[in-house]
Amino acid sequence: MKGIVEPDESDLMAARREFTEETGWPVPEGAWIDLGETRLKSRKIVTAWGLEADFDPSSLVPGTFQMGSRHFPEIDRVEWMPLEAARVKLNPALGVFVDRLEEHVIFRRT
């Protein structure tokens, strides 16, 4: 999830908060996998985590943000897809998170 880390919270706490704000789903229990950071072309630094969970994408109830007098959904959809499709659809700088998650899952299985 993307968002601003508040002064009184850690990056992980912000990720947990943003997860619920953006999807409407409660934060699942489990071990969070630190996927590190990457820098976008805009120079923004993005930090990400992975977490094993099972969600029905059709149950998405996204939060909204306001721009002027209009409200817009934080995200427009969620879908499950193969890793290669995710790498293509993501901002190229974010593909590193798919790589790191895949590496973690493969390492854990061996």
Contact at 8 Å (CB) between 47 and 94? no
| Assigned token pair, 68 | 């002027």
pLDDT of 36 strictly over 80: yes
Q: How confident is the model at residue 77 (pLDDT cuts 50, 70, 90)?
A: confident
With the C-alpha atoms ordered 76, 78, 84, 87, is the resulting torsion angle positive or negative?
positive
Closest alpha carbon to 78 in 96, 61, 66: 61
| Assigned token pair, 26 | 């409660």
Question: How do residues 43-71 score in pLDDT, each as one tens digit?
Answer: 999 999 998 888 899 998 898 989 999 99
Domain boundaries, the chain: 11-109
**Single pTM value for the model:** 0.80
Question: How do residues 78-96 score in pLDDT, each as one tens digit?
Answer: 999 999 999 999 999 999 9
pLDDT of 1 strictly over 60: no
5-9, 13-17, 24-28, 35-39: which is most confident: 35-39
DSSP H or E run through 36: strand 33-39
